[in-house]
Amino acid sequence: MKSFCIIGLGKFGTSLAHALVAEGKQVMIIDTDTEKVTMIADSVTNAVIGDATNMNLLKASGVADYDCAVVCMTENISDIILITIQLKELGVKHVIARAVNDGHRKVLEHIGADEITYPEHDMGERLAFRLSHSSITDFVQFKGYKVVEIVVPDEWVGKDLITLNLRKAYGVNIIAVRYTDGRIDVSPSPTREFNAGEIVSIVGDDSDIEKMTEKVK
């Protein structure tokens, strides 16, 4: 996706807009707060001051021409639902709505939101997982799988991938190694021995990653 409409400029919406602009994407913002819109108007492709619950405003903004619309508001659940319905009626290809609780998520799924974002919940789970596994420096989760980064455990030092045989032992695969000098090898040799201080990126399903990290923490 190359173009995005961000509706609602709270902390989450503003941060998302800045991040997408930094990635070179086309970004339109919509919010009722003139000051918030003005503050980042020069950074985005298009800026609209107005109420996104108004169907005429959404039509006039050209939101249907954007690949994705993200409803970032949390203050009024009924407004989020209405905006989501209207975006789908206007033919926006991919609508992401921000949920504030599980009940809200179910409603948004029922009315046709393509994706639900749960920032506070997701960040809480992310932090809890990282804090519970001292060996993990970072991770990304998607559809039942995780990619985690861990510092090479002491018991791996001096051993290679063939010897460790992580796929057989845990069902996971190493997809990259960050050497101590900062270089990243995305196709590590199966016979290269690991050194202390290196960081490895490992992919696997949730249960296999959990099993492996319990062994190496």
8 with 104, same domain: the answer is: yes
CA distance 141 to 130: 12
- Structure confidence at residue 135 (pLDDT): 64
Q: Indicate the range of 20-34, 65-79, 140-154 predicted with least confidence.
A: 140-154
Q: How confident is the model at residue 43 (pLDDT cuts 50, 70, 90)?
A: very high
pLDDT value of position 29 = 98
Q: Structural domain tally of the chain?
A: 2
Quick one: 128 and 102 in the same domain?
no
Domain end call among 58, 91, 117 = 117
| Per-residue confidence band for 142, with pLDDT thresholds at 50, 70 and 90 | low
Using the 3D structure, point to which of 82, 117, 152 is the last residue of a domain: 117
How confident is the model over 146-173, as a mean pLDDT?
90
- The pTM (predicted TM-score) of the whole model is 0.62
CATH number at residue 127: 3.30.70.1450
Instruction: Say whether both 23 and 60 belong to one domain.
Output: yes
Same domain flag for 151 and 210: yes
Is 154 found in the same domain as 100?
no
Q: Mark whether 75 and 163 lie in a shared domain.
A: no
Structure confidence at residue 63 (pLDDT)? 97
Residues 192 and 97 in one domain: no
**In terms of domains, do 131 and 198 share one?**
yes
Read out DSSP for the chain?
--EEEEE--SHHHHHHHHHHHHTT-EEEEEES-HHHHHHHGGGSSEEEES-TT-HHHHHHHTGGGSSEEEE---S-HHHHHHHHHHHHHTT-SEEEEE-SSHHHHHHHHHTT-SEEE-HHHHHHHHHHHHHH-TTEEEEEEETTEEEEEEEPPGGGBT--HHHH-HHHHHS-EEEEEE-TTS-EESS--TTPPB-TT-EEEEEEEHHHHHHHHHHH-
Pair 129, 94 in one domain: no
137 & 183 share domain: yes
Average pLDDT of the residues of the chain: 87
Domain that holds residue 148: 122-216
pLDDT score, position 117: 83
Residue 122: pLDDT band with limits 50, 70, 90 = low
pLDDT digits (tens, 9 = 90+) for 58-82: 999 999 999 999 999 877 888 999 9
- Do 32 and 96 fall within a single domain? yes
- Domain end residue (candidates: 117, 139, 172): 117
- Domain at 9, CATH number: 3.40.50.720
More confident residue, 35 or 123: 35
Q: Are residues 110 and 128 in the same domain?
A: no
